[in-house]
């Protein structure tokens, strides 16, 4: 009988569909046997028997992380899982999955597949910017940010409907302490992720709630652009390698193993997915941006074209279309901020004009980054039916002064394109404390509820927008 070890980190419930779910976990090197394999099994809740287990490689150059895809599942069904790892100095095909395994003490949990019948509703949590302060040269870590996830867990336990969690950037701060001791090597970044994802409450949340992630600058370095890659190739390679291992691999950027060619490797970080009544396009607004192009570009031409194709295909579908951008589309600051879409205004106008010209409705931008939370809408002088909604949620935890309402233009002209004026309207309150945001979509209405780190609702009466 082979002993199955409990995971050293995780599990993370990643991309979840009506008939499939992706689980992520981390093993470790054996004391005498260097090869590591993840092994997991599932069963429908209440059933006595597990399915035959599945395995994945957990390679040292990916910090012993790996994912397992479970397919041919039933919609709207709760599944229980057990996930651990084996140390065996053999080839993966030589592991007899019909043999007996000792699952005693292994990591366990549950997830629920998508409900194909709930086409009129979506409920989810999102946020950004979770700082983990290093103390005493890294020997101790601040756990205040983890209490945000304790509040989310309590809400779910109390029955708040939650389909998934969306983390929209700065899940780590690789350059914390004002860049005094920044992460530089793959092991630096791996250790950072182990510290961040290993805290009690975030680990508990991700073990049952599907969680989707996209990076922002602090996964690499403050205000990063693709223009920095030439001068910092080793930093970029280390940061992206760790990001792929800990954030990207369990999301939709990787197609399930059974649906891809053996040699297929994603060459982009952006991705799209659907949940309930809503569709999502998650942008990479960090690693493709360049100021050296004319005009400067927030996203590459290939990404912009893919976003337009996605929007155009969805325009006749009565679904909210969430475009996730780690930095805000709106509002702008009173002073020019070249790190946000404000500093890439020509490409922003191109996108807004496309939405207006194609008569695309129910578009909502989600973002973080600015260490305060707010919502607003964008209207157009030449089209009374045009409306784009923006919701910003930041920060999950930030131990320094937060962003203030006085820094932003919460009404008036945002940008102008060939005589077409886009104006900011219907701005809600600005929250300048640690927080997370709940969004609920019902029949063309978007309800925005903001909670502080301890779970107190800050919005009082939720802000509701017709989208």
Q: 268 and 187: one domain?
A: yes
- The answer to whether 411 and 374 have CB atoms below 8 angstroms apart is no
Phi/psi of residue 155, each to 5°? -65, -40
The tokens of 162 are what? 């939650």
On the question of pLDDT at 264 being above 60, the answer is no
Q: Which DSSP symbol is given to 308?
A: H
Q: Are residues 388 and 289 in the same domain?
A: yes
- Hey, how many other C-beta atoms are within 10 angstroms of the C-beta on 59? 15
The answer, yes or no, to whether residue 89 has pLDDT greater than 60, is yes
Percent of the chain at pLDDT exceeding 90: 82
pLDDT at site 93: 85
pLDDT above 70: percentage of residues in the chain: 95
Q: In this structure, are 79 and 152 located in the same domain?
A: no
Task: Answer yes or no: do 361 and 265 share one domain.
Answer: yes
Paired tokens of 121: 């509703």
The dihedral sign for the CA sequence 245, 249, 253, 254? positive
pTM: 0.96
The CATH number of the domain where 12 resides is what? 2.60.40.380
Name the domain boundary from 94, 112, 130.
112
**Mean pLDDT of all residues belonging to the chain:** 93
Classify the phi-psi angles of 178: left when phi > 0, otherwise alpha if psi is within -120 to 50, otherwise beta: left
Task: Single out the residue of 144, 78, 163 nearest to residue 112, CA to CA.
Answer: 78
pLDDT digits (tens, 9 = 90+) for 112-164: 999 988 778 999 999 999 998 766 555 556 788 999 999 999 999 999 999 99
Look at residue 160 and give its three-state secondary structure.
Answer: coil
For range 151-178, the mean pLDDT:
94
Grade residue 34 by pLDDT with cuts at 50, 70 and 90: confident
Helix (H, G, I), strand (E, B) or coil at 284: coil
Residues 275 and 377 in one domain: yes
Q: What pLDDT score was predicted for residue 178?
A: 66
For residue 262, the model assigns a pLDDT of 45
- 101 and 133 both lie in a single domain: no
Same structural domain, 334 and 238: yes
The answer to whether 314 and 323 are in contact (CB under 8 A) is: no
Tokens at residue 311, please? 């929007």
Give the count of domains, the chain. 2
Residues 90, 126: one domain?
Answer: no
- Indicate the range of 212-226, 253-267, 331-345, 366-380 predicted with least confidence: 253-267
Same domain, 79 and 167: no
Which residues lie below 8 Å from residue 313, measured CB to CB, with a gap of 6+? none
Residues 56 and 68 sit within 8 Å (Cβ to Cβ): yes
Rounded CA separation 424/328 (Å): 13
Per-residue pLDDT of 182-239, as tens digits, reads: 899 999 999 999 999 999 999 999 999 999 999 999 999 999 999 999 999 999 999 9
Over 70: is that where the pLDDT of 59 sits? yes
CB atoms inside a 10 Å sphere around CB 46: 7
Q: Which domain holds residue 32?
A: 2-112
- Residue ending a domain, among 91, 112, 133, is 112
* Contact (CB, 8 A) for 122 and 362: no
Residues 61 and 149 in one domain: no
Indicate which CATH number applies to the domain containing 383.
Answer: 3.60.21.70
Domain end (from 89, 112, 135): 112
Say whether both 241 and 321 belong to one domain: yes
Confidence at residue 405, expressed as pLDDT on a 0 to 100 scale? 96
Q: Do residues 454 and 373 both lie within one domain?
A: yes
Strand-by-strand arrangement of the 9-16 sheet: 9-16, 21-26, 65-70
Structure tokens at 154: 């309590």
Q: Over the stretch 355-381, which tens digit does the pLDDT of each residue have?
A: 999 999 999 999 999 999 999 999 999
User: How many residues are listed for the chain in this entry?
Assistant: 467
């Amino acid at each position: 009988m082979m002993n199955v070890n409990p995971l050293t980190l995780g599990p993370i419930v990643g991309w979840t569909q009506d008939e499939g779910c992706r689980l992520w976990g981390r093993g470790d090197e054996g004391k005498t046997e260097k090869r590591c394999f993840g092994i997991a099994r599932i069963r429908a809740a209440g059933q006595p028997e597990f399915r035959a287990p599945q395995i994945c490689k957990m390679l040292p150059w990916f910090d012993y992380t790996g994912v397992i895809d479970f397919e041919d599942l039933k919609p709207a069904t709760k599944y229980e899982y057990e996930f651990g790892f084996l140390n065996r100095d053999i080839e993966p095909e030589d592991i007899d999955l019909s043999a007996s395994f000792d699952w005693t003490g292994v990591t366990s949990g549950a997830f629920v597949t998508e409900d194909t019948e709930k086409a009129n509703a979506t409920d989810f949590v999102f946020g950004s910017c979770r700082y983990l302060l290093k103390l005493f040269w890294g020997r101790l870590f601040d756990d205040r940010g983890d209490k945000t996830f304790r509040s989310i867990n309590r809400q779910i336990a109390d029955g708040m409907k939650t389909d998934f969690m969306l983390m929209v950037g700065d899940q780590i701060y690789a350059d914390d302490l004002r860049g005094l001791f920044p992460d530089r090597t793959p092991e630096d970044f791996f250790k950072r992720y182990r510290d961040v994802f290993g805290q009690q409450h975030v680990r508990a949340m991700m073990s049952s709630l599907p969680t989707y992630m996209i990076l922002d600058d602090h996964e690499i370095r403050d205000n990063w652009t693709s223009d920095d890659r030439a001068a910092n190739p080793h930093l970029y390679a280390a940061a992206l390698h760790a990001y792929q291992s800990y954030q990207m691999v369990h999301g939709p950027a990787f197609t399930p193993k059974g649906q891809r060619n053996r040699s297929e490797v994603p060459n982009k970080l952006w991705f799209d997915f659907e949940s309930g009544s809503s569709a999502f396009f998650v942008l990479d607004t960090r690693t493709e941006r360049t100021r050296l192009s004319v005009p400067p570009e927030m996203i590459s031409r290939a990404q912009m074209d893919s976003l337009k194709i996605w929007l155009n295909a969805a325009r006749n579908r009565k679904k909210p279309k969430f475009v996730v951008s780690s930095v805000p589309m709106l509002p702008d600051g009173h002073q020019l901020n070249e790190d946000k879409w404000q500093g890439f205004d020509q490409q922003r106008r191109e996108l807004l004009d496309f939405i207006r010209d194609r008569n695309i409705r129910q578009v909502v931008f989600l973002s973080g980054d600015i260490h305060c939370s707010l919502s607003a809408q964008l209207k157009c002088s030449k089209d009374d039916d045009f409306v784009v909604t923006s919701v910003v949620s930041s920060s999950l935890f930030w131990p320094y002064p937060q962003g203030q309402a006085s820094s932003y233009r919460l009404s008036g002209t945002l940008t102008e394109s060939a005589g077409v004026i886009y104006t900011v309207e219907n701005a809600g309150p600005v929250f300048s404390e640690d927080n997370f945001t709940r969004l609920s979509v019902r029949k063309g209405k978007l309800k925005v509820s903001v909670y502080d780190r301890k779970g107190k609702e800050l919005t009082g009466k939720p802000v509701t927008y017709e989208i």
